[in-house]
Chain A
Amino acid sequence: MPSLLFCGPKMAACGIVISIWGVIMLAMLGIFFSTKSAVLIEDVPFTDKDIQEDANPPQRIYNLYNQVGINCFIAAAIYVVVGAVSLCQVRLNKRQEYMVT
Chain B
Amino acid sequence: MGELFRSEEMTLAQLFLQSEAAYCCVSELGEIGLVQFRDLNPDVNLFQRKYVNEVRRCEEMDRKLRFVEKEIKQVNIPIVDTGENPEVPFPRDMIDLEATFEKLEIELKEINTNQEALKKNFLELTELKHILRRTQQFFDEMEDPSLLEESSILLEPHEINRGAALRLGFVAGVIGRERIPNFERMLWRVCRGNVFLRQAEIEDPLEDPTTGNQVHKSVFIIFFQGDQLKNRVKKICEGFRATLYPCPETPQERKEMVAGVNVRIDDLQMVLNQTEDHRQRVLQAAAKTIRVWFIKVRKMKAIYHTLNLCNIDVTQKCLIAEAWCPVADLDSIQFALRRGTEKSGSTVPSILNTMQTKQTPPTYNKTNKFTSGFQNIVDAYGIGNYREMNPAPYTVITFPFLFAVMFGDIGHGVLMALGALFLVVRERRLMAQKTDNEMFSMMFAGRYIILMMGIFSIYTGAIYNDCFSKSLNIYGSSWSVRPMFNHEVGGNWTEDILRGNRLLQLDPKVVGVFSGPYPIGIDPIWNFASNKLTFLNSFKMKMSVILGVIHMLFGVSLSLFNHLYFHKPLNIYMGFIPEVIFLSSLFGYLIFMIFYKWVQYDVNMSKDAPSILITFINMFLFNYSDTTNKPLYKGQMILQSLLVILALACVPCMLIVKPLIIRRQYLRQKNLAAEDFGVTVSNGPTDDEAEIIRHDQLSQHTEEEPEFDFADMAVHQAIHTIEYCLGCISNTASYLRLWALSLAHAQLSEVLWTMVMHTGLSSSSYGGFIGLAIVFFFFAILTVAILLIMEGLSAFLHALRLHWVEFQNKFYVGQGFKFLPFNFEGILNGRPEE
Contacts and interface: CB of A to CB of B under 8 A. Distances in A.
A70 to B, nearest CB: 7
A45 interface: yes
Contacts of B757: 43
A42 interface: yes
B808 interface: no
Contacts of B528: 38-39, 41-42
Contact of A39 (B527, B763, B764, B776): B527
Contacts of B471: 39
Interface in A33-63: 37-45
A13 to B, nearest CB: 11
A57 B769 CA distance: 26
B773 A78 contact: yes
Given A37-B473, A40-B470, A64 B780 contact: no
Interface string B744-774: 0000000000100110011110101110110
Contact of B772 (A37, A41, A75): A75
B529 to A, nearest CB: 12
A79 B768 CA distance: 15
B780 A18 contact: yes
B340 interface: no
B473 A38 contact: yes
Nearest to B766: A67
A44 B776 contact: no
Contacts of A83: none
A88 interface: no
Given A39-B470, A41-B528, A26 B763 contact: no
Given A39-B527, A39-B528, A72-B772, A21 B764 contact: no
A68 interface: yes
A29 B772 CA distance: 12
Interface in B463-505: 468, 470-473
A45 B780 CA distance: 22
B769 A74 contact: yes
B601 interface: no
Nearest to A32: B470
A96 to B, nearest CB: 17
Contact of A70 (B468, B470, B472, B766): B766
A39 B768 contact: no
B773 A45 contact: no
A68 B772 CA distance: 10
A78 B758 contact: no
Nearest to B472: A39
Contacts of B762: 43-45, 68
A42 B758 contact: yes
B777 interface: yes
A75 B776 contact: yes
Interface in B563-580: none
B780 A21 contact: yes
A70 B772 CA distance: 11
A93 interface: no
B764 A64 contact: yes
Interface string A11-32: 0000000100110011001000
B524 interface: yes
A31 B768 CA distance: 17
Contacts of B758: 42-43
A22 B763 CA distance: 18
A22 B780 contact: yes
A25 B757 CA distance: 12
Contacts of B763: 45, 71
Given A39-B471, A43-B757, A71 B524 contact: no
Contacts of A45: 762-764
A25 to B, nearest CB: 7
- Which of A25, A43, A64, A71 has the largest number of chain B CB atoms within 10 A? A71
Nearest to A68: B761
B506 to A, nearest CB: 14
A18 B777 contact: yes
Contacts of B473: 37-39
B776 A71 contact: no
Contacts of A38: 473, 528
Nearest to B762: A45
Interface string B506-528: 00000000000000000010011
Contacts of B780: 18, 21-22
Given A21-B780, A79-B773, A71 B766 contact: yes
Contacts of A71: 761, 763, 766, 768-769, 772
A39 B471 CA distance: 7
B77 to A, nearest CB: 12
A28 to B, nearest CB: 10
Contacts of A78: 769-770, 773
A62 to B, nearest CB: 14
Contacts of A39: 470-473, 524, 527-528
Most buried by A among B527, B758, B766, B776: B776
B764 A67 contact: yes
Nearest to B415: A21
A22 B778 CA distance: 11
B406 to A, nearest CB: 23
Interface string B208-228: 000000000000000000000
A20 B757 CA distance: 17
A26 B776 CA distance: 9
A72 B770 CA distance: 10
A74 B766 CA distance: 10
A39 to B, nearest CB: 5
A76 B766 CA distance: 15
A33 to B, nearest CB: 8
Nearest to A38: B473
Nearest to B754: A42
Contacts of B761: 29, 40, 43-44, 68, 71-72
Q: Which among A25, A64, A79 has the greatest number of chain B C-beta atoms within 10 A? A: A25
A26 B766 contact: no
A25 B43 CA distance: 69
B772 to A, nearest CB: 4
A41 B764 CA distance: 14
Pick from B473, B761, B770 the residue with the most CB of A within 10 Å: B761
A22 B471 CA distance: 19
Contacts of A29: 761
Contacts of A74: 769, 772
A29 B780 CA distance: 15
A8 B90 CA distance: 48
Nearest to A44: B762
B249 to A, nearest CB: 53
A25 B772 CA distance: 12
A44 B764 CA distance: 8
Nearest to A22: B776
B368 to A, nearest CB: 30
Contacts of B470: 39-40
29 contacts: A22-B773, A22-B780, A25-B776, A26-B776, A37-B473, A39-B472, A39-B527, A40-B761, A41-B528, A42-B528, A43-B761, A43-B762, A44-B762, A45-B764, A64-B764, A67-B764, A67-B766, A68-B761, A68-B762, A70-B769, A71-B761, A71-B766, A71-B768, A72-B761, A72-B769, A74-B769, A75-B769, A75-B772, A79-B773
Given A38-B473, A39-B472, 8 more contacts: A18-B777, A22-B773, A22-B777, A29-B761, A39-B470, A39-B524, A45-B764, A78-B773
Interface of A: 18, 21-22, 25-26, 29, 37-45, 64, 67-68, 70-72, 74-75, 78-79
Interface of B: 415, 468, 470-473, 524, 527-528, 754, 757-758, 761-764, 766, 768-770, 772-773, 776-777, 780
Query: 5 tightest CB-CB pairs across the interface, nearest first?
Result: A74-B769, A45-B762, A75-B772, A43-B761, A75-B773
